[in-house]
Structure 1
């Protein structure tokens, strides 16, 4: 490189311009000295005065004429044709980075700071050519033997390779070219689950333990479109079968100490945007999945997703949400997908949630649900109108019973006593209720409902079971 710099003035001046372009963002007054020291290592005979004079000239004229060019003759001379000279300057800058021993990733990112339209395939070619000792910046690539690509392989060989890939790998591979996409799309793939995790700064999709990440590099480039398109591809692909879908829309669960982000990125509508994107790419599709798990702040993402799932095939829903909207809730409970559920888990049932809409389900559980007399009345009135219902479990927080004083034989559990009293009073209004064992006899049947109330630490557990006599 030293001989090339000393004998080719254009190479030398291009390297000085390249370093000058980077130094414009530097706050150090002595950054030119650092540049000189770096170039001195590659060009031992470089005089400081000669370098500094050229550096000052370029610094004063950086914004003159062609601002995107790396060639000093082109950048500062508007009448000069740029294509050929600027391509040579581009190769000189790559050679300069190679001789400064930068990795391919660092060199590429450093070059893109001053030349935005760098194509990585071209950059990579010249980087590795120079790295292997071929320092001719005027080499004609057309003289190289044709390089066969992966897509040029015989079709049967390609099939043998991609059929052993995981689904996550297939999604990435099919984006390489149309031929690979055709091969992959014809392969049948069975897998168990998809897990989508949406956060403020990233989105990850887990396909059977293999993860594809979509990371937000800027507010404008959050990769959300790409993530939703890939998810929709898998959901609607006729040859890709799976049973379980797990979506975490809880992107408001953000801790700035874990991952500091600009304030503009803290967008509470991120989950809403993802749901709307998913809705648009799933238009006119019904996805046949059996189990759905959704974690969300509001019910809007669930209301948007449910219409695209096949009613009758969807059997189980595991739902966790923080806030409730009456209109959205009513829309969901009227959907066929909701009415045909066989199993439901709701971490939290709000006080205003209509408990009677759950008794069309064969089995449901909630680990945070208040049992009030109003709810007991609704349960009593709907119980015999639900031929499918077999079991429910509802828990709610309750103070542990007071320790007995010496003259008392038993603990006093006032919350338990109040609930038992309410159950007997409300349920006893129905003639089929037997307070002994808290049973409901089902007419013209050898079955009955049994109500059980138990305590576990600081929680009361309310259960209704359908049992045979």
Structure 2
């Protein structure tokens, strides 16, 4: 680095060119493999810190820098005779479309911050993400976009955002903003991209994060959603952040499930009503089964300690027009032979001795279709899989 200038630089044309020529002299390398150890853009930014970014544009700075480097030191050179430099906007639209077609969704998303024509070309490709994973805690917010990772971590006076690209490529950005505010600057525009398609979105927030409401202000888009949060009430709040109609598959897990009073609210959400598949890792009562009549498939656990009437379960499922399959888990520690009790309830003729698995078929009344039951003894519980055979 050169010595700090003792007097301010004037922003007139002559002084700016003098500064550039001195930068070139300082950076002429011993070998001519490069233009010195400091990139030209860093040199330009150093000048801008002294005189402001309005004094000279980067293209003008680069023109004079490379001209002086080649030994052309005429400050009064008339550039009007030169051809007008080409810009990216002079590129044929078909070529720009072809180039953006070969970019991944994250790279195309960055183009949306440019001018409207380039943004329109970027938006002409529907961005498809196979998987997006977002983890939120009190001190950090991390999101995975396909194979790219972004990690925003709390610092004493702001945050540090890390960007990890494949093949061990990483960079970071320091900010005086909070973790949530900085992360939202990336996530909100992402989900606002027209025609965005997310095949699977995983959301996890297992802390009592004070910025939860700010995070849930994001409108999420996904075909399949997996949500891991503290309690049942939070599963509902997170589910409401998804666009109903797009959401076909829902998987919910609450770490604490002692707030069962919120479950009826969950059944009333449009997201639940319009989905086709659901997996609830929280206990439900036998009567709750009727809420699943519109699903193609579902999976849940019955409330532990309450004996379930599987004959009634069978009759209810027989009336579900869209039904294809389900997986149910039944805990009942008061019956040492629970699998036998379930089998006998279904009218199965069982052999004497220990049972590990029962397979049962049930003919659906007034139909050529039937249900196939597979019941597995898992010790303190039984897993029941029911498949509709056509």
> What TM-score do the two structures reach when normalised by structure 1?
0.54
Structure 1 regions of 5+ residues with no counterpart? 2-11, 18-70, 75-81, 254-266, 280-286, 399-413
Q: Could you tell me which residue of structure 1 aligns to residue 383 of structure 2? A: 461
Judged with a 3 Å threshold, the aligned counterparts in structure 2 of structure 1 residues 461 and 188 are, in CA distance, closer, same or farther, namely same
Q: Could you tell me which residue of structure 2 aligns to residue 315 of structure 1? A: 248
Judged with a 3 Å threshold, the aligned counterparts in structure 2 of structure 1 residues 319 and 232 are, in CA distance, closer, same or farther, namely farther
Alpha-carbon distance in structure 1 between the residues aligned to 2:305 and 2:40 = 63
Is 1:434 aligned to 2:357, yes or no?
no
Is 1:72 aligned to 2:29, yes or no?
no
Alpha-carbon distance in structure 1 between the residues aligned to 2:122 and 2:186 = 19
Is 1:420 aligned to 2:361, yes or no?
no
Is 1:218 aligned to 2:178, yes or no?
no
Shift of 1:104: 2.8
Within 5 A, what are the aligned runs for 1:79-94? 83-84=11-12, 88=16
Contact 2:44 2:61 (C-alpha < 8 Å) held by counterparts: no
Q: 1:197 aligns with which of 134, 137, 162?
A: 134
Q: 2:224 aligns with which of 292, 316, 324?
A: 292
**How much is the aligned-residue C-alpha RMSD, in angstroms?**
5.0
The count of residues paired between Structure 1 and Structure 2 equals 338
Alpha-carbon distance in structure 1 between the residues aligned to 2:376 and 2:261 = 35
Is 1:388 aligned to 2:310, yes or no?
no
Q: Could you tell me which residue of structure 2 aligns to residue 444 of structure 1? A: 366
Contact 2:286 2:313 (C-alpha < 8 Å) held by counterparts: no
Classify the secondary structure of the residue corresponding to 2:145: strand
Is 1:159 aligned to 2:97, yes or no?
yes
Contact 2:109 2:190 (C-alpha < 8 Å) held by counterparts: yes
Q: Could you tell me which residue of structure 2 aligns to residue 232 of structure 1? A: 192
Alpha-carbon distance in structure 2 between the residues aligned to 1:326 and 1:121 = 65
Judged with a 3 Å threshold, the aligned counterparts in structure 2 of structure 1 residues 108 and 442 are, in CA distance, closer, same or farther, namely farther
Contact 1:390 1:466 (C-alpha < 8 Å) held by counterparts: yes
Contact 1:195 1:205 (C-alpha < 8 Å) held by counterparts: yes
Contact 2:131 2:200 (C-alpha < 8 Å) held by counterparts: yes
Contact 1:196 1:248 (C-alpha < 8 Å) held by counterparts: yes
Contact 2:97 2:121 (C-alpha < 8 Å) held by counterparts: yes
Alpha-carbon distance in structure 2 between the residues aligned to 1:136 and 1:458 = 86
Classify the secondary structure of the residue corresponding to 1:249: strand
Shift of 1:192: 6.8
Classify the secondary structure of the residue corresponding to 1:225: helix
Classify the secondary structure of the residue corresponding to 1:394: strand
Is 1:349 aligned to 2:282, yes or no?
yes
Classify the secondary structure of the residue corresponding to 2:200: strand
Structure 2 regions of 5+ residues with no counterpart? 30-35, 153-160, 162-173, 350-358
Q: 2:295 aligns with which of 361, 366, 377?
A: 361
Alpha-carbon distance in structure 1 between the residues aligned to 2:118 and 2:78 = 26
Contact 1:249 1:271 (C-alpha < 8 Å) held by counterparts: no
Q: Could you tell me which residue of structure 1 aligns to residue 264 of structure 2? A: 330
Instruction: Provide, for residues 236-295 of structure 1, a one-character-per-residue CA deviation record: whole Å limited to 9, x for no partner.
Output: 43xx6x4x5322322558xxxxxxxxxxxxx8245542331327xxxxxxx7x6x31223
Shift of 1:151: 1.1
Shift of 1:118: 5.0
Alpha-carbon distance in structure 1 between the residues aligned to 2:210 and 2:26 = 43
Contact 1:317 1:344 (C-alpha < 8 Å) held by counterparts: yes
Judged with a 3 Å threshold, the aligned counterparts in structure 2 of structure 1 residues 134 and 376 are, in CA distance, closer, same or farther, namely farther
> In proportion to residue count, which structure has more helix?
1
> What TM-score do the two structures reach when normalised by structure 2?
0.63
Judged with a 3 Å threshold, the aligned counterparts in structure 2 of structure 1 residues 453 and 122 are, in CA distance, closer, same or farther, namely same
Shift of 1:150: 0.9
